[in-house]
Amino acid sequence: MAIHSTRMRISIPMSIVNMHMNIIWFYGIFLNLSGSWADRSPLHEAAFHGQLLALMTLVAQVWWGPSTWADTRGGQGVPGFSVNIVTMEKVSPLHDACLGGRVSCARFLLEKGAAVSVGRTEPPHRYLMLKSERLFHSHLRQVNATTIDGVTPLFSACRGGSPACVQLLLDHGSALHPTHGSALLVASPIHEAAERGHWECMEILIAHGVDLDLEIPKLGTPLYISCVSQKVHCVERLLQLGADACRGRGQDTPLHAAARQTDVHVVELLIDYGADVWSRDGEGRRPVELAMPLSLVEAELLLREHPPALSQLCRLHIRHVLGSVRLHLAPNLGLPSHLYSFLFYRPDPGSLDHSPLGHGSGTSAPSFYFLLM
Answer left, alpha or beta for residue 321, where phi above 0 means left and psi between -120 and 50 means alpha.
Answer: alpha
Q: What tens digit of pLDDT does each residue of 26-37 get?
A: 444 333 333 445
Cβ-contact 118, 144 below 8 angstroms: yes
14: confidence class by pLDDT, cuts 50, 70, 90: very low
Q: What tens digit of pLDDT does each residue of 125-165 get?
A: 333 333 333 333 333 333 346 788 888 899 999 999 999 99
Q: What pLDDT score was predicted for residue 117?
A: 58
Q: Which residue has the higher pLDDT, 281 or 74?
A: 281
| 50 has pLDDT over 60 | yes
What CA–CA distance (Å, rounded) separates 360 from 163?
Answer: 37
Counting residues of the chain whose pLDDT is more than 70, the rounded percentage is 67
Tell me which H or E stretch contains 344: none
Per-residue DSSP letter, 2: E
Cβ-contact 153, 91 below 8 angstroms: no
Amino acid (one-letter) located at 114: A
Q: What pLDDT score was predicted for residue 177?
A: 78
Amino acid (one-letter) located at 56: M
What CA–CA distance (Å, rounded) separates 283 from 250?
Answer: 12
What CA–CA distance (Å, rounded) separates 134 from 68?
Answer: 9
Average pLDDT of every residue of the chain: 75
Q: What tens digit of pLDDT does each residue of 325-363 get?
A: 888 888 888 888 888 888 889 886 655 444 444 443 333
Q: What tens digit of pLDDT does each residue of 241-294 get?
A: 999 999 999 999 999 999 999 999 999 999 999 999 999 999 999 999 999 999
What CA–CA distance (Å, rounded) separates 38 from 88?
Answer: 9
The CATH 1.25.40.20 portion of the chain extends over: 1-177
Give the right CATH number for 1-177 from 1.10.3720.10, 2.40.50.100, 1.10.260.40, 1.25.40.20: 1.25.40.20
Q: What pLDDT score was predicted for residue 371?
A: 42
Cβ-contact 63, 8 below 8 angstroms: no
How far from chain centre, in Å, is Cα 233? 16
What sign has the CA pseudo-torsion 184, 187, 189, 191?
A: positive
64: confidence class by pLDDT, cuts 50, 70, 90: very low
Q: What pLDDT score was predicted for residue 179?
A: 60
Angle at Cα 165 formed by Cα 62 and Cα 94, nearest 5°? 35
What CA–CA distance (Å, rounded) separates 32 from 252?
Answer: 44
Q: What tens digit of pLDDT does each residue of 285-301 get?
A: 999 999 999 999 999 99
Range in 3-17, 49-63, 95-109, 168-182 with the lowest mean pLDDT = 3-17
